Amino acid sequence: MTQTEFLNIVMPFKDKVFRLAKRLLVSTEEAEDATQEVLLKLWNNKAKMQEYKNVEAFSMTMTKNFCFDKLKSKQAQNLKIVHSNYEDKSMSLQKQVELNDSINWVEKIIEELPEQQRLIIQLRDVEGYDYNDIVDILEMNATAVRVALSRARKTIREKLTIKHNYGVK
Residue 35 CB contacts under 8 Å (≥ 6 apart), including other chains: 14, 17, 18, 21, 63
Nearest Cα residue to 107 out of 137, 81, 89: 81
Give kind and range of the element (H or E) at residue 166: none
Q: What is the pTM of this model?
A: 0.53
Nearest Cα residue to 88 out of 75, 74, 98: 98
In this structure, CATH architecture of domain 92-164: Orthogonal Bundle (1.10)
State the span(s) of the chain assigned CATH 1.10.1740. Answer: 1-83
So what's the pLDDT on residue 90? Answer: 57
Q: Given pLDDT bands bounded at 50, 70 and 90, which one contains residue 49?
A: confident
Fold of 1-83: Rna Polymerase Sigma Factor; Chain: A (1.10.1740)
Among 34-38, 123-127, 165-169, where is mean pLDDT lowest? 165-169
Residue 124 CB contacts under 8 Å (≥ 6 apart), including other chains: 131, 134, 149
State the span(s) of the chain assigned CATH 1.10.10.10. Answer: 92-164
